[in-house]
Amino acid sequence: MPSFPPLTTTLAFLAGILLTLGLKDFYPDLERRFRRRSHFPPNNTLAGAGLVVPQVDLEDRTRKSAGGGGGAIAGKREGGEGLEVVEGVEGCVGETPLIRIRSLCEETGCEILGKAEFMNGGGGSPKDRVALSIINMAEGSGLLKPNSGDVIYEGTVGSTGISLATICRARGYRAHICMPSDQATEKSDLLLKLGAVVDRVPPAPIVDPMHFVNRARTLAAEHTADPNRRGRGFFADQFETEGNWQAHYEGTGPEIYRQCCGHIDAFVAGAGTGGTIAGVARYLKPRLPDLKIVLADPQGSGLFNRIKYGVMFDSKEREGTRRRQQVDTIVEGIGINRLTANFEAGRELIDDAIKVEDEQAIAMARWLVERDGIFAGSSSAVNCVAAFRFAQILGPGHRIVTILCDSGTRHLSKFWARAGNISGELDVNLADIIDAASSD
């Protein structure tokens, strides 16, 4: 008589088959995951290759930090790390990298580093820091209220306006920008694309009511006084407000100090409002007493003589020689013939000044593209000329930090139109930078 297995054994066997098929149907990648895991030893090192595989943490992307507001969103699952997510475009301002400018390092024997402020994620310049600081201070003081119809007015040659227009849109305001009509047209074009109102006014001395700064101040006051207009007018006043240099004291300066591990021999920067050089100097000098703060000043500006000789004067400003109402240079963004509150905040900390001619700036801009692939604007080129020349004064083995303010894309119709196109050959040499003088 044939022998049959017990019924319970048969049922268990069939259940096992069904369970296996069910797992395969519901988890088609189970085997793939198992095999992938089996290739990694416990120390997460890829066998035979020496590659470290980082731990992957699952994070909850639905919860914000309890504090709310700006900054990174810190929501996480149990045991996970905080998300590295910034709050809006404002969160992209600051923490810009330091770039080692290799060609200048090789030529001088010094380490010349450029703070890549063109990588700020708002308006693409150091003015992002200033615009954000001014708006934050005004909101904190009750002078601005988001989405209330408030309008921010400012007189600027371009970069501050672009930064304000960007952050205004993110914060619920509109920007009204007054700028000299002789500035590069791409700046005003960009402002219009950002939704700003743009007044291009004729260049005029600061004592003229139609000077671009005075014009912005007047328009802000008229807006506030008009009962038929919604919201208030707020004059940003970048040249005089403490929020300018404080933005660099609280941001740019500490970043440079940390990125250089506290070892810097010189900081070189130009001055328009003066906020960058003043704020960075006020942060770094108390921590590095031997640090040299050096002003990079374009032709036509009086700040060089103010630092070197105590007087505001430039040879191109002699009566009968001036060609422009503001500063006689092709460079935009730096250079001025009056003292601002921001410049005065750091003037006593400036150790030296270097005058840079237009042709030197043009030669340096071309050099940076040819040798380093850095497409810089006019003020960045001036800074690099001064950093290069101060490196020659210090000698090899020193570390010099300067500011790469904005991209050459904002200077195409003026500065770069004169600089010309870059060929496939290396047609700029150091003599062009050291010895070049304006031929105009």
pLDDT tens for 254-287 read 999 999 999 999 999 999 999 999 999 999 999 9
- Integer Cα distance of 209 and 205 in angstroms: 9
pLDDT tens for 143-197 read 999 999 999 999 998 899 999 999 999 999 999 999 999 988 999 999 999 999 9
- Section 234-242 average pLDDT: 97
- Section 363-381 average pLDDT: 96
With contact defined as beta carbons under 8 Å apart, do 316 and 299 qualify?
yes
Tallying the residues shown for the chain, one arrives at: 440
**H or E element at residue 222:** helix 212-225
DSSP 304-342: HHHHHHSS---GGGSTTT--SSS-SSS--SS--SS--HH
Q: Does the structure show a pLDDT above 80 at 28?
A: no
pLDDT tens for 425-438 read 887 787 778 776 54
- Integer Cα distance of 15 and 23 in angstroms: 12
pLDDT of residue 275: 98
pLDDT of residue 72: 38
Residues 6 or more apart in contact with residue 287 via CB below 8 angstroms = 257, 262
pLDDT tens for 60-117 read 433 333 333 334 333 334 444 678 899 999 999 999 999 999 999 999 999 999 999 9
The three-state secondary structure class of 423 is coil
Q: What is the pTM of this model?
A: 0.79
Residue 175 phi, psi dihedral angles, 5° rounding: -105, 140
pLDDT tens for 196-224 read 999 999 999 999 999 999 999 999 999 99
Active-site residue 127, yes or no? Answer: yes
- Catalytic member of 115, 127, 187, 414: 127
Q: Does the structure show a pLDDT above 80 at 48?
A: no
